[in-house]
Amino acid sequence: MFLEQPKKGEPKKGWIEVIAGSMFSGKTEELIRRLRRAEFAKQKVEIFKPAIDTRYDAEDVVSHNATSIRSTPVTSSQNILLLTGEVDVVGIDEAQFFDNGIIEVCIKLADQGIRVVVAGLDMDFLGRPFGPMPALFAVAEYVTKVHAVCVHCGDLAQFSYRQSEDNAVVVLGEKDIYKPLCRRCYNEETKK
């Protein structure tokens, strides 16, 4: 996947790419990898993340293994449209934390000829589709599902099991609160 330079008189081509999976599956790492490649190709890149995600840094997007890239924290998906100037690529991390307006924002950007790369959790801690992610899958040209490794059995993990009693849908945390589990191990844990 790359952004071809349009021929004279042709409009730029835009599209949406979604990277999804459980916690510790490498979503943010893959987002950063794609955005760095675009920067290397001298494309103008803007990166956004929800302002509530301050786990590693208040501004930068940071993966679990400490790879980072500069970003702009925003409180609403509509702010992305206001802050996006002349760019070739827009990156959006932790899309599940945005309001449903993020879907229309991504469509508008792609329609303007911008490559949009979005990363987020596909399911919440209860194993349900998370926020706007299912709709983003539907409108995207490319969807990449990444997996973690189950910490119990070593199989591919697609569930983010919450180890605390908190029932709020959004609880920021790391290995102290969440662990990646495969379907079988997730079902065993939730029966306890």
Distance in Å from the first CA to the final CA of the chain = 44
Domains in the chain: boundaries: 15-146
Q: Which two tokens stand for residue 50?
A: 């929800």
DSSP state of 167: -
For residue 16, pLDDT beyond 90: yes
Of the residues 94, 141, 174, 189, which is catalytic? 94
Q: What is the CA radius of gyration of the chain?
A: 17
The per-residue pLDDT for range 20-67, each reduced to its tens digit, is: 999 999 998 999 999 999 999 999 999 998 887 656 555 655 555 656
How much is the pLDDT for 2? 47
Confidence of residue 192 (pLDDT cuts 50, 70, 90): confident
**115 Cβ contact partners less than 8 Å away, ≥ 6 residues apart:** 1, 3, 14, 15, 17, 38, 88, 89, 90
The per-residue pLDDT for range 131-172, each reduced to its tens digit, is: 999 999 999 999 999 999 999 999 999 999 998 776 776 665
CATH code at 15-146? 3.40.50.300
CA pair distance 73, 38, nearest whole angstrom: 20
Write down the pTM of the prediction. 0.85
The per-residue pLDDT for range 71-109, each reduced to its tens digit, is: 788 899 999 998 888 899 999 999 999 999 999 999 999
For residue 124, pLDDT beyond 60: yes
187 — alpha (psi -120 to 50), left (phi > 0) or beta? Answer: alpha
Give yes or no: 94 in active site: yes
